[in-house]
Structure 1
Amino acid sequence: MTETAVYAAGGVVWRILDGKLRVLLITRTRYRDLTLPKGKVDPGETLAETAVREIREETGLRVALGVPVGVSRYVMPTGREKIVHYWAAEASDAAVRATTFAPNKEVASVEWTSVKKARERLSYPVDLEILDAFAALVERGVLRTFPILALRHAKAKSRDDWDGADSARPLSSRGRRQANAIVGPLLAFGVRRIVSSPAERCIRTVMPLSAVLARRVDRTELLSQDAWDDGLSDPRTIIDARVRARKPVVLCSHGPVMPDIISELALATGTMPGSYLGNSSTLDTAAFSVVHLSVDNPGAGIVAIETHDPKI
């Protein structure tokens, strides 16, 4: 992020209503314009967290992020550039029933409309570009997706400062901060299950998330660095099971294992290899890549892949 630009995030919120696709538009109270829900990043917040929070604040809907659908850029009246990141986000029937929206000083109303009518009525060309990217997902038949998140463990105590087994090496103070900081970004993608290497540094990385979800951590040596060092790791077995399950999951492992996890995701989904896969597997501590797959046809290839790094 640059120091001068203003960053924001939001989403194209969608649902199937009476068998038809509908997207959600908001009318802002002050400007009386019709736009997509979005808002500025709060201090210490990641873009993914911002998108989920702003959608909830402006529409009353609790959503999980799907596929990224683009970035809009424009110059504000102050002369500063504004950069807005968008994701597709499905509003479940339960979320719609539980909505808490009421007209307020920021948003006068919300409405569900077809993509065609949204194109005709949106107030800004930059919103139309985002809507067009969303429509392309619809045309490809890959709008409904699920994520598999490949997470590298948080910063561990240095090997030079540790006399025990490497698998028992604990997190450093920075690593503990990282473990807490990534809870929000991981939750933004609707994670409900955690699979991890049994190494102490991996388990401690996902324990804050486990506590928030009230879900246990599934431990497996197949993702461990000890097994990888011995040529015995087996990410393929884990990946095949998670692709078949078609549910959001985070896989916590080690730097050397990450390329194998991403490669196996590509193989399991019939995705053509490329340099982008390598970039998505070269992760700093506590960073993660989100691999979006089609719910209806996960073997059709990776729909999108994105990488997040909290920079703690």
Structure 2
Amino acid sequence: MTSHDHSAIYAAGAVCWRIVDGKLKVLLVHRTAYGDVTIPKGKVDPGETLPQTAVREIKEETGLSVALGVPLGAAQYRVHSNREKIVHYWAAEVSDAAVRASTFVPNAEIAALEWVTVKRALSYASYDQDVEILRHFEKLVDEGVTSTFPIIVLRHAKATAHGDWGGSDASRPLTSRGVTQAAGIVPTLQAFAPRRIVTSTATRCITTVAPLAAALGRTSKATDDLSQNAYEHGESDVRAVVGKRIAARKPAVLCSHGPVIPLILREIALATGTPAGSYLASAADLEPAAFSVVHVSATAPASGIISIETHEPRT
């Protein structure tokens, strides 16, 4: 999700959904200037990542604060300037509290918000590309995996090299670039609304999640079970950490090391009854400060991993 065609216009949005009187409804917006009916979305601002854009645009267009769920793919089409526009979408469950807190009023951009069934949305949306995204969402609904939570597997940011550090491996600090990376990934991580941060006890991991913990107003929990030293000595218990997070069914960040991350992904697959495959190796192949977001069903975690998306740092 990081290689960009610089001639294209990038945008992001979400299929917002909630249960209304026992029925699943999705949100469509009636745009004032265009006189159309569409899924809320908007263009990427300079320096933004796609998940960050999706959350911001939903807030600006609808007044709703959301956390991103499962990615629904991207729509590609030509706009009037004949440039290609690429719009990435996620599913986003809207809480009752978010609906009550919405500050939306009709304005020059959005005339109205309308909650409709997926079937109604498919016939109501003005554009074929929106229908395609809605069909992706409809498939999730049919499979019963709309309510999800993410387990975010994060590799620590750039650390001082072994040869440049006189102390123990566990005490190696982040480089100045690593410090910048740790701060830079916070807005993207926040788009998935993590509630729990679990980190290796190594300094480079604790420092990596410090800006996120500060932004969320939460304390991270450090454990040797995610540390490289304990892993290399056969003393770590990654399974216990992963099992606890899956059982909690809450969005969480697990910050660890390159050698440990493949085991974390494997344990997530085992804990959710997901068959192993090359996708796990791809999700585990993370550069410093990169992370993979593993989406799991909140109602039936053992139904397997729904999807995995990987995000790389900007710096």
Residue 291 of structure 1, aligned match among 273, 287, 294:
294
The separation in 2 between residues aligned to 1:272 and 1:229, in whole angstroms, is 26
The separation in 2 between residues aligned to 1:204 and 1:100, in whole angstroms, is 36
The separation in 2 between residues aligned to 1:29 and 1:210, in whole angstroms, is 39
* Residue of structure 2 equivalent to 1:39: 42
State whether residues 259 and 278 of structure 1, in contact with CA within 8 Å, keep that contact through their aligned partners in structure 2: yes
Q: Could you tell me the percent identity over the aligned residues?
A: 60
Residue 162 of structure 1, aligned match among 162, 165, 189:
165
Verify: 1:57 aligned to 2:60, yes or no. Answer: yes
Residue 207 of structure 1, aligned match among 199, 206, 210:
210
Unaligned runs of 5+ in 2: none
Residue 14 of structure 1, aligned match among 12, 17, 39:
17
Offset at 1:310? 2.1
SS in 2 for 1:154: coil
Q: How many residues align?
A: 312
Query: Structure 2 matches for 1:219-234, cutoff 5 A?
Result: 219-234=222-237
Verify: 1:186 aligned to 2:189, yes or no. Answer: yes
**What do residues 19-45 of structure 1 show as CA deviations (whole Å, max 9, x unaligned)?**
111100001111010000001111111
Q: What do you get for the CA RMSD once the two structures are aligned? A: 0.7
The separation in 1 between residues aligned to 2:253 and 2:293, in whole angstroms, is 9
Unaligned runs of 5+ in 1: none
State whether residues 64 and 89 of structure 1, in contact with CA within 8 Å, keep that contact through their aligned partners in structure 2: yes
The separation in 2 between residues aligned to 1:233 and 1:126, in whole angstroms, is 47
SS in 2 for 1:127: helix
State whether residues 154 and 256 of structure 2, in contact with CA within 8 Å, keep that contact through their aligned partners in structure 1: yes
Verify: 1:138 aligned to 2:141, yes or no. Answer: yes
The separation in 1 between residues aligned to 2:102 and 2:179, in whole angstroms, is 35
* Residue of structure 2 equivalent to 1:79: 82
Offset at 1:236? 0.6
Residue 198 of structure 1, aligned match among 196, 201, 206:
201
* Residue of structure 2 equivalent to 1:116: 119
Verify: 1:245 aligned to 2:213, yes or no. Answer: no
Aligned AA (2:125): L
The separation in 2 between residues aligned to 1:105 and 1:206, in whole angstroms, is 40
Aligned AA (1:14): W
The separation in 2 between residues aligned to 1:155 and 1:41, in whole angstroms, is 26
Offset at 1:311? 2.7
Query: Structure 2 matches for 1:98-117, cutoff 5 A?
Result: 98-117=101-120
Verify: 1:282 aligned to 2:285, yes or no. Answer: yes
* Residue of structure 1 equivalent to 2:276: 273
Verify: 1:172 aligned to 2:179, yes or no. Answer: no
Offset at 1:10? 0.2
SS in 1 for 2:293: strand
* Residue of structure 1 equivalent to 2:5: 2
SS in 2 for 1:112: strand
Offset at 1:233? 2.1
Offset at 1:160? 1.6
SS in 2 for 1:16: strand
Verify: 1:257 aligned to 2:260, yes or no. Answer: yes
State whether residues 184 and 314 of structure 2, in contact with CA within 8 Å, keep that contact through their aligned partners in structure 1: no
Aligned AA (2:133): I
State whether residues 149 and 298 of structure 2, in contact with CA within 8 Å, keep that contact through their aligned partners in structure 1: yes
SS in 2 for 1:84: strand
SS in 2 for 1:304: strand
Offset at 1:206? 0.4
Aligned AA (1:281): A
Verify: 1:29 aligned to 2:32, yes or no. Answer: yes
TM-score for both structures, normalised by structure 2: 0.98
The separation in 2 between residues aligned to 1:69 and 1:106, in whole angstroms, is 25
Aligned AA (1:92): S
SS in 2 for 1:111: strand
TM-score for both structures, normalised by structure 1: 0.99
- After the TM superposition, which parts of structure 1 deviate over 2 Å for at least 4 consecutive aligned residues? none
Offset at 1:161? 1.3
State whether residues 25 and 35 of structure 1, in contact with CA within 8 Å, keep that contact through their aligned partners in structure 2: yes
Offset at 1:120? 1.1
